[in-house]
Amino acid sequence: MKTTLILASALGAVAFPSMKNSRDVQMNIRSVLSNVERRSLEARQQDALGISRSESNCGTRVCPTFDGEDQLVSVSGEHQYIAPGPGDIRGPCPGLNAAANHGYLPRSGIASIEETVSGLGALYNLGPGISAVLAAYAVAIDGNIVEGVWSIGGPLPTDELTGALLGTGQGLSYSHNNYEGDSSIGRGDAYINNGDAHSLNVTRFEQVYDIAVKDGSDRYTLDKFRAKFEEAQDESIANNPYYFTGVFSTVVVVPAAYNFVINLMSNHTAEEPAGYLDGYNFKSFFGVAGEPGNFTWLKGQERVPERWYRRPSYAPYEAQDVVGDVAIGYLAYPDTLKFGGNTGKVNTFTGLNVANISGGILDVSTLFTGDNFACFSFQLLQQGIPNFLDNAINDLAPVTDLINKYVGPIVGGLSCPQLGNLSIGLFDQFPGYKYSPTGPDTNY
Ligand code: HEM
């Protein structure tokens, strides 16, 4: 417990110093962390696994108490489960699909930034800062910036009232490399699935589900999922000639999604206030029925379980937690930090190092000191944008203004090195970087 406390506060403070009052405390915490890092980088997984294992299902926060009234999530009345109707959109993210099926997001699957912040806050206690960033990025890159909306699944439809196109945004389902990436938990890689990285692959789900069957625990943890992420990357390298990693989607979003399952889908009780995720809750959130061997995916029917208690209000999952948990994953499993891809054939992974990409400002030994990883993550997000936008958009300003509005306050609290322009052009050599499937216009 003590180790958890130290690490939890250390990572919180290191990633986001403005969150702590005393500079001295921060300095001490920084040195604790840098000792941990040094050991973990030197000893690779041996000590690093200790960092990852010491985390509870509340991630970088400590959640020692339970308050049923505060944490019980309503699944009745306006929040009763209703399967999506014919015009409703669902997509690759089970957390968003479940939110829409219970009316925490608009049931249509098209949401504004404000609706995202309030809905995901109420349902999961996802922090308002990170919710707004994730939604703003979706509006800017896959949605409709004029209307300020985004789609949790396929392309935005035509507005039935005005006949106007709500936008050319392809939605999350066809956001390969800008939002969606390879080596996901339950979705296959886009290139080897004809562009479909949004449908659940039941075999893949079963492999993850098996983790807590094989060890007899019926408990999923951050550490087990981080190890699974490493395995998923190896599978992608061995099977997907267009496997690619290096941009915000694959360096941050994909590993963050593994952590989201544990941090946001875990149930909480008086006996297990820091949360637990068992097979029952895991299946419900992923819309899976049946038992191992005969699982079926109930497309678009992701559900919040009855009598399910979210994270406590005093422990929102905010931007610093998202970035801190991803950083712990890379420290604990250094091989998962990859920039590069296969070069058109399987098993041809060619990596670039952090120094190449950051113009020598950062390297693997400094990436995880201070606020550097948080700074680097948000730089990847911001600087990747022009490469993903439709060529028809010739005025970038509204897009960058929107992103800066929400990313700015977070980055403003960090002490970032002068990163300048990242060498994103280096990614052009990987065929998977340019692979950008667009949808059939389906709702799922
Ligand atoms: C505005 C908020 C959110 C956005 C924009 C978003 C977006 C995405 C995207 C683009 C993916 C595909 C990533 C991949 O390739 O693996 C994804 C996957 C995922 N997301 Fe979300 N997400 C959000 C919130 C949430 C929340 C609140 C949860 C949990 C409660 C969640 C859980 C997941 C999980 C578990 C996956 C992986 C699914 C799989 O591989 O089977 N997300 N999300």
**Span from the CA of 34 to the centroid of ligand 1 (angstroms):** 30
Name the band, by pLDDT with cuts 50, 70 and 90, for residue 29.
very low
CA of 359 to the centre of ligand 1 (A): 31
Domains plus CATH for the chain? 2-434 (1.10.489.10)
Assign 443 a pLDDT band (cuts: 50, 70, 90): low
* pLDDT band per the 50, 70, 90 thresholds, residue 358: very high
Neighbours of 294 (CB within 10 A): 9
Spatial contact of 414 and 404, defined as CB atoms under 8 Å apart:
no
pLDDT tens track for 77-117:
999 999 999 989 999 999 999 999 999 999 999 999 999 99
Measured CA distances, 338 to 11, 149, 195, 385 (Å): 22, 32, 22, 20
Average pLDDT over residues 331-338: 92
Binding pocket residue ranges, ligand 1, CB within 6 Å: 92-96, 116, 120, 124, 126, 131, 134-135, 138, 172, 175, 179-181, 184-187, 197, 200, 253-254, 257, 260-261, 264-265
pLDDT for 374-395, tens place per residue? 999 999 999 998 888 765 555 7
Residues whose CB falls within 8 Å of the CB of residue 119, separated by 6 or more in sequence, listed in order: 99, 104, 105, 111
**CA trace torsion 255, 260, 263, 267 (10° rounding):** -140
Q: Are 122 and 129 in contact (CB under 8 A)?
A: no
Angstrom CA distances, 265 to 20, 132, 173, 298, 308, stand at 28, 20, 21, 18, 9
Task: For residue 98, give the ligand 1 atom closest to its CA.
Answer: 30
Distances (CA, A) of 97 to 89, 92, 138, 286: 9, 8, 15, 9
Q: Looking at the DSSP assignment, which residues form a beta bridge with residue 245? A: 340
* pLDDT for residue 442: 65
Which residue has its alpha carbon closest to ligand 1 atom 26? 95
Kindly report the number of other CB atoms within 10 A of residue 439's CB atom.
15
CA of 43 from ligand 1 middle (Å) equals: 32
Q: Taking residues 10-26, report their average pLDDT.
A: 35
**Is the pLDDT confidence value at 65 over 90?**
yes
Distance (Å) from CA 39 to ligand 1 centroid: 32
Query: What's the 245 CA to ligand 1 centre distance in angstroms?
Result: 17
Which residue type is seen at 348? T
User: Could you tell me the distance, in angstroms and rounded to a whole number, from the CA of residue 172 to the centre of ligand 1?
Assistant: 9
Confidence at residue 438, expressed as pLDDT on a 0 to 100 scale: 86
Ligand 1 center to residue 95 CA distance, Å?
Answer: 6
What is residue 145's predicted lDDT score, i.e. its pLDDT? 87
Q: Is the dihedral of CA 39, 41, 47, 51 positive or negative?
A: positive
Spatial contact of 56 and 275, defined as CB atoms under 8 Å apart: yes
Looking from the CA of residue 286, the nearest atom of ligand 1 is 41
Closest C-alpha to ligand 1, atom 20: 93
Nearest residue to 154 via CA among 108, 95, 114 = 108
Q: Show the DSSP H helices in 184-295 as ranges.
A: 202-214, 222-239, 248, 254-265, 279-286
With the most atoms of ligand 1 within 8 angstroms of its CB, the residue from 93, 233, 252 to mutate is 93
Q: 3-state class of 34 per DSSP?
A: helix
Cβ distance 43 to 323 under 8 Å?
no
Digit-coded pLDDT (tens) for 190-207: 999 999 999 999 999 999
Whole-number pLDDT of residue 441: 63
56 has which bridge partners?
A: 59
At 158 the pLDDT is 65
CA-closest candidate to residue 131, choices 297, 276, 317: 317
Atom index in ligand 1 nearest the CA of residue 135 equals 1
Residue 94, both tokens: 């089970």
- pLDDT beyond 70 at 35: no
From 96, 133, 139, 302, the mutation candidate for ligand 1 (largest count of ligand atoms within 8 A of CB) is: 96
- Using the atom order of ligand 1, give the atom closest to the CA of residue 137: 5
State yes or no: pLDDT of 165 exceeds 90. no
- Nearest protein CA to atom 12 of ligand 1, as residue: 180
Instruction: Show the tokens assigned to 198.
Output: 């949004």
What's the gap in Å between 184 CA and the centre of ligand 1? 10
Q: How far is the CA of 392 from the centre of ligand 1 (A)?
A: 28
Q: What's the gap in Å between 261 CA and the centre of ligand 1?
A: 9
Q: Enumerate the β-bridge partners of residue 275.
A: none
Measured in Å, residue 189 CA sits from the centre of ligand 1 at 15
Helix axis angle, 319-332 relative to 128-142, nearest 10°? 80
- Confidence band (pLDDT; 50, 70, 90) for 44? very low
Residue closest via CA to ligand 1's atom 30 equals 95
Q: What are phi and psi of 351, to 5 degrees?
A: -105, 150
Q: φ, ψ for residue 126 (rounded to 5)?
A: -75, 135
